[in-house]
């Protein structure tokens, strides 16, 4: 699975958009980009994933560059409850022993301030 690089920390004003970048320059064609977040010391929570098209759900938007070497997670209107560590993970798909493995880095600590 490709490795990812994220900034250690970011902050954002409440109500503004939070844009969290992730570099994954070694991503291969069959690998998806996943985002999870971890609030305090709770279990990580799935946010969104994508392959090459931009994706949007009720929580966030995911923008993937055309060469797929980087992506940005966008929280359109950050709230104090979005303060968390955000993990960008790249992994392949398909049956077999690699399915189920998620490799977490240290992620980005996002702090939303009032």
Q: CB of residue 54 vs other proteins: minimum separation in angstroms?
A: 16
Taking the least distance from each CB to other proteins, the nearer of 13 and 99 is: 99
As given in the structure block, the two tokens for residue 50 are 């994508």
Q: Which of 13, 39, 80, 99 binds other proteins (CB under 8 A)?
A: 99
Contact call for residue 103 and other proteins (CB under 8 A): yes
Taking the least distance from each CB to other proteins, the nearer of 15 and 104 is: 104
Considering only residues 6 to 65 of the shown chain, the ones binding other proteins according to CB under 8 A are: 32, 34, 36, 41-46, 49, 51
52, 55, 67, 85, 94 from 44: Cα distances, Å:
24, 20, 28, 9, 23
Identify the H or E element spanning 37. Answer: strand 32-38
Nearest to 89 by CA among 56, 40, 46, 29: 46
Q: Which residues bind other proteins (CB under 8 A)?
A: 32, 34, 36, 41-46, 49, 51, 87, 93-95, 97, 99-107
């Amino acid at each position: 699975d490709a490795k990812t690089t994220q900034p250690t920390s970011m902050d954002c004003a409440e109500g503004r958009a939070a844009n969290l970048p992730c570099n994954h320059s070694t991503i291969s064609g069959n690998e998806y980009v996943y985002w999870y977040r971890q609030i305090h010391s709770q279990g990580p929570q799935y946010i969104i994933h994508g392959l090459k098209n931009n994706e949007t759900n009720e929580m966030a938007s995911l923008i993937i560059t055309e060469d797929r070497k980087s992506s940005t997670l966008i929280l359109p209107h950050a709230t104090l409850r979005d303060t968390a560590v955000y993990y960008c993970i790249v992994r392949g798909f398909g049956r077999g022993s690699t399915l189920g493995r998620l490799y977490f880095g240290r992620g980005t600590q996002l702090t939303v301030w009032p």
